[in-house]
Amino acid sequence: MNRMVRKAYYFFLKIKNRVLGRPAGSDIRGTFRRSTNGGYNLFAKGSSLINCDIGFGTYLGRRSSFSDSKIGKFCSISWDVVLVKGSHPTTFVSTHPFFYSRDCGGSKISFSSKNKYEEHKKTKDGFSCVIGNDVWIGCHVLILEGHHIGDGAVVAAGSVVTKDIPPYEIWGGNPARFIKKRFDSTQVGKLEECKWWDWPVSKIKANSDHFTSISDFCGFLENDDEALK
């Protein structure tokens, strides 16, 4: 894309977002319904966000899909990352919803006069899924609903998330398991305390050189009177 075409594209995007009431810099190429976003987001072709709250700078790759979820700022979500909603009882004689769901998702038949199994799980905040800030999720990840992925966590490609993932931990596998911590507990504590993702964008940009080294960043925090307030 040459310079003139790029300028024309972003001018069109700016007008489009203004008309639709979306924050600046939003590049929304997938399905985006009943959702809010913080600005400077990219939602790739084939992605789907329905009834979601998405933070500043977060992007989704192709065919990634979430609904009824909260996703924080500065998240990097690759392609084919899907929130899996609903489950079936494995201890019942049959796993078919005719036997435990009164409405069977709109089906014309059910053998049960009441709901006998909790098909959908929620986080303590009432969302189907909560993803913190600065989370990196690799491609082809499945996330079972009702789980929380903490700030700064990393989920390896191809994983199936069946548990909550604590902040600043790397998980992977099927089912996803703990691999290692990204930083030591003192460093993680400082990151969680300062909540850099909530700083003004101008401050983040001005101090971006500190973000390439955790020791440098923690040293910067110790000399910044405002960072830990």
Q: In the 8-state DSSP scheme, what is residue 165?
A: B
Residue 5 has pLDDT above 70, yes or no: no
Residue 104 backbone zone (phi > 0: left; psi -120 to 50: alpha; other: beta):
left
CATH class of 17-85+127-182: mainly beta
Taking only the tens place, the pLDDT of each residue in 139-158 is 999 999 999 999 999 999 99
Catalytically annotated residues: 88
Whole-angstrom distance, CA of residue 112 vs CA of residue 108: 12
pLDDT in tens, 158-200: 999 999 999 999 999 999 999 999 999 999 999 999 999 999 9
Residues 6+ apart with CB under 8 A from 38: 23, 54, 55, 56, 57, 58, 73
Query: Could you report the per-residue pLDDT of 36-80, keeping only the tens digit for each?
Result: 999 999 999 999 999 999 999 999 999 999 999 999 999 999 999
Phi and psi (nearest 5°) for 35?
A: -130, 160
**Integer Cα distance of 145 and 162 in angstroms:** 8
Whether the per-residue pLDDT at 3 is higher than 90: the answer is no
pLDDT higher than threshold 80 for residue 213? yes
C-alpha to C-alpha distance for 88 and 109, rounded to whole angstroms: 17
Q: Which residues make up the CATH 2.160.10.10 domain(s) of the chain?
A: 17-85+127-182
